[in-house]
Structure 1
Amino acid sequence: MSETQAETVTLVVRHQVRSNHVPRYEAWLRRIIATASQCPGHLGVDVVRSRQPGVAQFTCVLRFARLQQLQNWLDSEQRQQLIAEVEPLLRAGDQLEIAQDKAFWFVPDSAQAPPPRWKQSCVTFLVILPLSLLVPLLWQPLFQRIPWFGGYLPSNVLITLSIVLLVVYLFMPMATRLFAAWLSPATDEDLP
Structure 2
Amino acid sequence: MTTDDRQPALRTATLDEIAGRATPGAETVTAVIQQTVRRERVADYERWLKKVVPIASRFPGHRGVNVIHPAAGSLQYTITIRFDSLAHAQDWFDSDARRQLIEEAQPLLEAQEKVETRSGLEFWFHPPAGQPPAKRYKQFLLTLSVIYPLTMLVPAVLHWLLAPVPVLSLYGVEHLLASAAVVGLMVYLIMPRYTRLMARWLYK
Q: Structure 2 length as normaliser, TM-score?
A: 0.49
SS of equivalent residue, structure 1 residue 92: coil
| Aligned-partner residue type, residue 19 of structure 1 | R
Aligned to 1:172: none
The one of 35, 47, 68 equivalent to 1:15 is: 35
Larger Rg: 1
CA deviations on 1:28-49 (whole Å, 9 max, x unpaired) are 0111111000000000011111
Aligned to 2:108: 89
CA deviations on 1:32-72 (whole Å, 9 max, x unpaired) are 1110000000000111111464x511101110001000000
SS of equivalent residue, structure 1 residue 3: coil
CA deviations on 1:64-111 (whole Å, 9 max, x unpaired) are 0010000000000000000011011111212100001275455565x7
Provide the identity percentage. Answer: 38
The one of 55, 62, 78 equivalent to 1:42 is: 62
SS of equivalent residue, structure 2 residue 43: helix
Q: Which runs of 4+ in 1 moved over 4 A?
A: 105-109
Provide closer, same or farther for how the CA distance between residues 81 and 57 of structure 1 changes in structure 2, counting only shifts above 3 A: same
- The answer to whether the 8 Å contact 1:16/1:92 transfers is yes
SS of equivalent residue, structure 2 residue 69: strand
Provide closer, same or farther for how the CA distance between residues 31 and 24 of structure 1 changes in structure 2, counting only shifts above 3 A: same
Aligned to 1:75: 94
Q: Which structure 1 residue ranges, 5 or more long, are not aligned?
A: 113-192
The one of 101, 121, 124 equivalent to 2:120 is: 101
SS of equivalent residue, structure 1 residue 28: helix
RMSD, aligned α-carbons: 2.2
Number of residues paired by the alignment?
Answer: 109
Aligned to 1:56: 75
Matches within 5 A, 1:1-192: 2-5=23-26, 7-51=27-71, 53=73, 55-101=74-120, 103-104=123-124, 106=126, 109=129
